[in-house]
Amino acid sequence: MTEYSPVGHCPSCGGTLSGYDTRTKRFAVLCDADGDWPVEVIIHRAYCRECGRIVVPEEPFYPGTRIGSPIVDLCTTLASSGSHGNVTAFLDRLGVKVDRWSVRSYCHLSIPAPKTISMFGMQLPASIIVLSSLAGDIAQGQKARGTDVLAACNFPSRYLGVTFSGMIFSSLFDLSALVIFLNDLLMV
């Protein structure tokens, strides 16, 4: 599983960070003929030894959501030209499981509409396209940097105005799941 951790020093006082706790978040649920399989990431929080502040790493999730931000982008973009049920059916063909009620709830989030790019005869979120190019790098044996992934996702965890200035995050994002469905996307 991919892990996201704060590194460096406390953004408030510059103090030394220590591990605080670890939790797992579901990034996506993929489905194929063998059933459903969740893709999860591990989020490590840290605390400052000087001021006690809990420091949360940047992560590829919009605040208050329980699924990866590229999936939310995909749902809201596709929903702009189809019903929630159609979005669910389309994603199912891509091997991504999202029920129509979840699609509807993502469409009601108070987040800006994602940037989109016209590709394969439809509008797709830029985050997905940029991630697919990172996936290409991985296929060539290179590692995607977490900072690149977060940039591709447009830093979704910042949407509540939380600032992470001065923080450097070292994380590695498992793109294999995205690669699978992007490969499928190309065949649609």
Q: By C-beta, is 8 or 15 nearer to Zn ion? A: 15
Residue 50 or 148: the one with the smaller Cβ distance to Zn ion is 50
Nearest to 159 by CA among 59, 83, 91, 71: 59
Conformation bin of residue 177: beta by default, left when phi > 0, alpha when psi is -120 to 50: alpha
DSSP structural state of residue 169: E
* Least separation in angstroms between CB 14 and Zn ion: 7
Shortest Å distance, C-beta 49 to Zn ion: 8
When the beta carbons of 49 and 93 are compared against Zn ion, the nearer one is 49
Task: Name which of 11 and 70 has its Cβ closer to Zn ion.
Answer: 11
Q: Are 69 and 156 in contact (CB under 8 A)?
A: yes
The string of DSSP codes covering 23-63 is EEEEEEEEEETTEEEEEEEEEEEEEETTT--EEPPP-SS-T
- List the interface residues with Zn ion, window 1-20 (CB under 5 A): 10, 12-13, 15
Per CB under 5 A, the list member of 3, 40, 50, 174 interacting with Zn ion is: 50
Residue 164: CB minimum distance to Zn ion, A = 14
Q: Shortest Cβ distance from residue 114 to Zn ion (Å)?
A: 34
Give the list of residues 6+ apart from residue 142 with CB closer than 8 angstroms, or none.
none
Nearest-approach distance from CB 54 to Zn ion, in angstroms: 10
113 binds Zn ion (CB under 5 A): no
**Between the CA of residue 53 and those of 56, 79, 100, 149, 162, what are the distances in Å?**
10, 39, 39, 26, 14
Contact positions toward Zn ion, by CB under 5 A?
10, 12-13, 15, 48, 50-51, 53
